[in-house]
Amino acid sequence: MQRWLKLPDGRYIDANSIVYVGKVETYPRLDDDGNDAGQGYAVSLGTDVPREHHISVMGTKDEVLALLKALLGAGSAA
């Protein structure tokens, strides 16, 4: 059974296909005018071992945290 998660950029991924969750990293974000927009967060998700099957998800702290909670928290309820 598939369990779809919405990524911060609007795409969807099947949570059951994820085999790798990387370390959450931070980076400085800039707005369209080049001004400081605070800190951004990114996490790498992989659906297979080869590098072509990895996706980097970027967003705010709340967006990335909500994604990880939905991904990791739902598995313990089953």
In the chain, the number of structural domains is 1
pLDDT at 24: 95
Q: What is the pTM of this model?
A: 0.77
- Over 50: is that where the pLDDT of 53 sits? yes
What mean pLDDT is reported for the chain?
Answer: 89
Query: Average of pLDDT values for 19-30?
Result: 94
Phi, psi of 16 (to 5 degrees): -75, -15
Grade residue 69 by pLDDT with cuts at 50, 70 and 90.
very high
Q: Pairing state of beta strands 20-21 and 36-46?
A: antiparallel
Half-sphere exposure of residue 7, counting CA atoms within 13 Å on the CB side? 17
pLDDT at 78: 46
- 44: containing domain: 4-77
Query: Average of pLDDT values for 46-67?
Result: 91
**Residue 36 and residue 41: Cα distance in Å, rounded?**
14
